[in-house]
Amino acid sequence: MPRLRAVLGRLAAYQPTEGVHAAATRTRPLSANESPHGPLPGIVEAITAAASTVNRYPDPGCGQLTRAIAETHGITEDRVVVGAGSVALLQTLLQSVGDPGTEVVYAWRSFELYPILADLAGLRSVRVPLVRDAHDLPAMADRITDATRLVLICNPNNPTGTMVAREELLKFLARTPPTCLVALDEAYYEYAREPTASSGMELVEAHPNLVVLRTFSKAYGLAGLRAGYLVGDPRVVEQLRKACLVYAVNGVAQQAAVAALGLEDQLLRRVDATVRERGRVRDTLVARGWDVPAGHANFLWLRLGDASAEFGRWCTGKDIAVRTFPGEGVRVSIGCAEDNDAFLAASAEWRRREQQGP
């Protein structure tokens, strides 16, 4: 065996939920927080048109897409970096912030890729427990030291769906030294309806150490094409652009994302429908006695503790893919109404069985 970095021996391989990617399966895909809607005709057209030029390299600077994003948010282009999914930008960010041994602070439980990307970048992870499923920003601020280079805040949080309030975020930013970056991962921001919360987009101008990550994978329905972006201070953006792998964002993805921004109104109406479904599913579960925090993304978090693994297997047995965190909970995506109904039926049956006992 040739020698590789020791960190790889310690990492567990990313485990996608079983069975979901087999095309022929009947499995209801409620494990990956994808949009249940297929691409709009205008997006398929953009993809088809872009397909005829794949013998050429894509625009390495993602010029057209960068302009479209800047226009959408009313910011200058020098504040935007495009990446092959926001996960690729998270990787760039973690590789860029600190030399080995420096620290990244994030809440736990949060997005499962944070520890993996931190380990790969050689950063030390400082995990701050959630309190009632939500970020404890004062405790996170307490953990910032001279060694801290980055604080990651997933807002809404994956997998619990909670949000940080604007006031708390501002207090946190005021306590963070200007030399330490703060990244708000807003992969699900379009689904948020919490009046006390606010997007980092409104705060980047006043806070040069703040960056915001957004993605085309969820609300914009382009998970399969891989496109996301980061917004921040132009001086930070200039450096991060150098750290991105050149040509990483393919031309088909760039054109589809431009088309998606052009069709934003229609796509956001689909998001409204998902938000209504989220309310319906949660209300039903709560009425049946489940403990489900109000979710602000396109999924719900079932705090099942020790019963999580068994409930996850129960759903798999009913051909419903969910995301199980053994010992903690189960995350179920909001899908199409039919899939959500199937999940509600399966969960009701599980509960009846539990109450009857063995």
Ligand X SMILES: *Cc1c(COP(=O)(O)O)cnc(C)c1O
Contact between 187 and ligand X by CB under 6 A: the answer reads yes
Identify the three-state secondary structure at position 64.
helix
Nearest residue (CB) to ligand X, 144 versus 297: 297
Contact between 333 and ligand X by CB under 6 A: the answer reads no
| Positions 33 through 92 that interact with ligand X (CB under 6 A) | 33, 85-87
Residues in Cβ contact with 140 at an 8 Å cutoff, skipping those fewer than 6 apart: 105, 107, 128, 151, 153, 172
Nearest residue (CB) to ligand X, 150 versus 346: 150
Nearest residue (CB) to ligand X, 252 versus 346: 252
Residues in Cβ contact with 44 at an 8 Å cutoff, skipping those fewer than 6 apart: none
| Positions 150 through 169 that interact with ligand X (CB under 6 A) | 154, 158
Distance CA 85, CA 92 (A): 11
- Identify whether the C-beta of residue 304 lies closer than 8 Å to the C-beta of residue 315: no
CB 315, min distance to ligand X, A: 19
Residue 41 amino acid letter = P
| Positions 110 through 149 that interact with ligand X (CB under 6 A) | 111
- Identify whether the C-beta of residue 130 lies closer than 8 Å to the C-beta of residue 293: no
Nearest residue (CB) to ligand X, 241 versus 314: 241
- Identify whether the C-beta of residue 354 lies closer than 8 Å to the C-beta of residue 305: no
Binding ligand X (rule: CB under 6 A), the pick from 103, 185, 233, 339 is: 185
CB 213, min distance to ligand X, A: 7
Side-chain half-sphere exposure of 347, counting CA atoms within 13 A: 27
Distance CA 176, CA 5 (A): 33
Residue facing ligand X at closest CB distance:
85
User: How many angstroms separate the Cα of 40 from the Cα of each of 6, 256, 262, 304, 306?
Assistant: 45, 10, 11, 37, 41
Q: Which ranges constitute the DSSP H helices of 143-232?
A: 166-175
CB 310, min distance to ligand X, A: 25
Instruction: Name residue 230's beta-bridge partners.
Output: 81, 213
Nearest residue (CB) to ligand X, 29 versus 228: 228
Nearest residue (CB) to ligand X, 215 versus 324: 215
Nearest residue (CB) to ligand X, 106 versus 314: 106
| Positions 191 through 250 that interact with ligand X (CB under 6 A) | 215, 217-218, 223, 228
CB 35, min distance to ligand X, A: 11
CB 317, min distance to ligand X, A: 26
Looking at residue 321, the DSSP 8-state letter turns out to be E
CB 357, min distance to ligand X, A: 37
In 3-state terms, the chain is what percent helix, strand and coil (to 5)? 40, 15, 40
Nearest residue (CB) to ligand X, 302 versus 346: 302
CB 218, min distance to ligand X, A: 6
CB 185, min distance to ligand X, A: 5
Footprint of ligand X (CB under 6 A): 33, 85-87, 111, 154, 158, 185, 187, 215, 217-218, 223, 228
